[in-house]
């Protein structure tokens, strides 16, 4: 079915919240997509435990719930990274090496598109178009747009995020 991820304490708390939301929801097949949307909004993704809660509430099989969830692109089965990397694959970006940029992020982060690093710091996603064709190829790291990407820029972007995280952790430790 889905890739198994270790649930964090935050995930467990969110699952409890989701359980309460599901318990107050009506039962019926028409509730499947709304409940999946509610689960993803609460958790940021759909772990097996969330699919099980939905299936149990609607009294349908988990494989049926997974079948519907996996059909729609809006649902994700991996937790999003705190720094999601979105690599544009629109025509302009594709022609100017978007695929190579994506491969470089995958190699540097040691994950594939659609996956999240073990520490949940990064996730990689291929997107259709970000609307900045004049800056192709383009990648978004978090909310920051990076245009005229080159394979050599990938390592620097990843390193910058990691350094900023360490700096923030040191500042928090001082207080």
Q: Mind listing the pLDDT tens digit for each residue in 90-128?
A: 999 999 999 999 999 999 999 999 999 999 999 999 999
Return the bridge partners of 126, or none.
Answer: 87
Model pLDDT, residue 5:
67
Please say whether the beta carbons of 42 and 17 come within 8 A.
yes
CB-based contacts of 27, cutoff 8 Å, min separation 6 = 57, 58, 59
Q: Give the per-residue pLDDT at 4.
A: 58
Q: How far apart are CA 151 and CA 109, in angstroms?
A: 13
Q: Any binding-site annotation on 132?
A: no
What's the pLDDT band for 151 if we cut at 50, 70, 90? very high
Handedness of CA 56, 59, 60, 66 (dihedral sign): negative
At residue 175, the pLDDT reads 79
The Cα diameter of the chain in Å comes to 53
Q: Model pTM greater than 0.95?
A: no
Q: What is the pLDDT of residues 39-95, one digit of tens each?
A: 999 999 999 999 999 999 999 999 999 999 999 988 999 898 999 999 999 999 999
Handedness of CA 71, 77, 79, 85 (dihedral sign): negative
pLDDT score of 2 more than 50? no
Tell me the domains of the chain and their CATH numbers: 9-71 (no CATH), 83-174 (3.40.30.10)
- Please report the pLDDT score of residue 8 as a whole number: 86
Q: Is it the case that residue 155 has pLDDT exceeding 90? A: yes
CA distance 98 to 139: 8
Give residue-wise pLDDT tens across range 16-48: 999 999 999 999 889 999 999 999 999 999 999
Q: What is the pLDDT of residue 73?
A: 84
């Amino acid at each position: 079915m889905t890739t198994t991820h270790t649930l964090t304490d935050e995930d467990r708390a969110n699952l409890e919240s989701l359980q309460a939301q599901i318990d107050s929801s009506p039962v019926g097949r028409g509730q499947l997509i709304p409940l999946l949307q509610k689960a993803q909004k609460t958790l940021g993704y759909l772990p097996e435990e969330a699919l099980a809660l939905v299936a149990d509430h609607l009294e349908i099989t988990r494989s049926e719930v997974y079948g519907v969830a996996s059909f729609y692109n809006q649902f994700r089965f991996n937790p999003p990274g705190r720094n999601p990397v979105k690599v544009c694959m629109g025509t302009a970006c594709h022609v100017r090496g978007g695929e190579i940029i994506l491969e470089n992020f995958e190699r540097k982060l040691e994950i594939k598109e659609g996956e999240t690093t073990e520490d949940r710091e990064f996730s990689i996603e291929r997107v259709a178009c970000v609307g900045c064709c004049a800056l192709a190829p383009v990648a978004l790291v978090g909310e920051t747009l990076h245009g005229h990407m080159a394979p050599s820029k990938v390592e620097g972007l990843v390193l910058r995020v990691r350094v900023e995280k360490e700096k923030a952790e040191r500042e928090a430790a001082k207080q």
